[in-house]
Structure 1
Amino acid sequence: MDFLTSSTHLHITTWVVALVLFFVGALVSKSKGIHMALRLFYILIIITGGALFIEAMDYGMGMDYGIKFLLGILVISMMEMVLTRQKKNKPTTVFWILFAIFLFAVLFYGFKLPMGMNFLA
């Protein structure tokens, strides 16, 4: 298995696990351990996404992958904002909406790009 395929699978695995941890953490708002594990997965997502971004330079589509990278950072920041504000008993409606919008955008954009899996065809 080459580096590109294994990094793509590792990246997808990390964000799927992070999404599961996020939704569990949002339902169980008093769990500090889940939030700390989720922060570890944020770092893993950024590292594997950065590796894929560097590989994307071979495709000549650095700007497109850069936009996807920024959308991914926005998704991570909205996840953190939801959990942090929820823990402080502050309103989270706006951040849930932004999370949903950014998540849809990053998934659509990621699967549309050449290194993504062709689920949309």
Structure 2
Amino acid sequence: MTHAHITSWFIMIILFLIAVSMQRSGAAKANIIKMVLRLFYIITIITGLLLLHSIASISGLYWLKALAGLWVIGAMEMVLVAGKKGKSMAAGWTQWVIALVVTLFLGLLLPLGFDLF
């Protein structure tokens, strides 16, 4: 399940960057990419919940990582909505970068992640 989760959030990040660039250029297909991105939000959340469910003893850091992961998704939506409305996306981008760094750090730090730290 770990590989499915990693694959889903990796694809989610790529789709997010594609959606932002297509939205900025005014491409008509940007809405399709955003719908596929939202499908990957759901896949990522489900695989994350399955990973949480598979852990015998869940520490607080796992819950913090789950909340940070939801924060990443929320920040992605903030960027996309602000871009569509023509407003400044700086707050969304800042939140996205911070949330992504926190989530990746916790994911690599915790025992289910890779052994980098």
Same fold (TM > 0.5): yes
Q: What residue number does 1:79 align with?
A: 76
Match of residue 46 from structure 2: 47
TM-score in terms of structure 1 length: 0.89
- Runs of 4+ deviating beyond 3 Å: none
Match of 2:31 in 1: 32
Q: 2:9 aligns with which of 5, 9, 15?
A: 15
Distance 1:36 1:80 in 2: 12
Percent of pairs with identical residues: 40
| Alpha-carbon distance, 1:94 to partner | 0.9
In structure 1, what is the Cα distance between the partners aligned to 2:36 and 2:59? 31
Q: Distance in 2 between matches of 1:43 and 1:84?
A: 18
Contact kept? 2:68, 2:99, Cα under 8 Å: yes
- Alignment partner of 1:117 out of 96, 114, 117: 114
Q: Distance in 2 between matches of 1:61 and 1:54?
A: 9
Total equivalences in the alignment: 112
TM-score (norm 2): 0.92
Q: Which runs of 5+ in 2 are unaligned?
A: none
- Write out per-residue CA displacement over residues 19-40 of structure 1, whole angstroms, 9 at most, x where no aligned residue: 0000001111041000000000
Letter in 2 for 1:97: T
Asked whether the equivalents of residues 72 and 96 of structure 2 are also in contact (C-alpha less than 8 Å), the reply is yes
- Distance of 1:85 and 1:41 partners within structure 2: 20
- Aligned mates of 2:7, 2:46 — CA distance in 1: 13
SS of the counterpart of 2:97? helix
Whether the 8 Å contact between 2:52 and 2:58 is mirrored in structure 1 is no
Contiguous gaps of at least 5 residues in structure 1 = 1-6
**RMSD (Å), alpha carbons:** 0.9
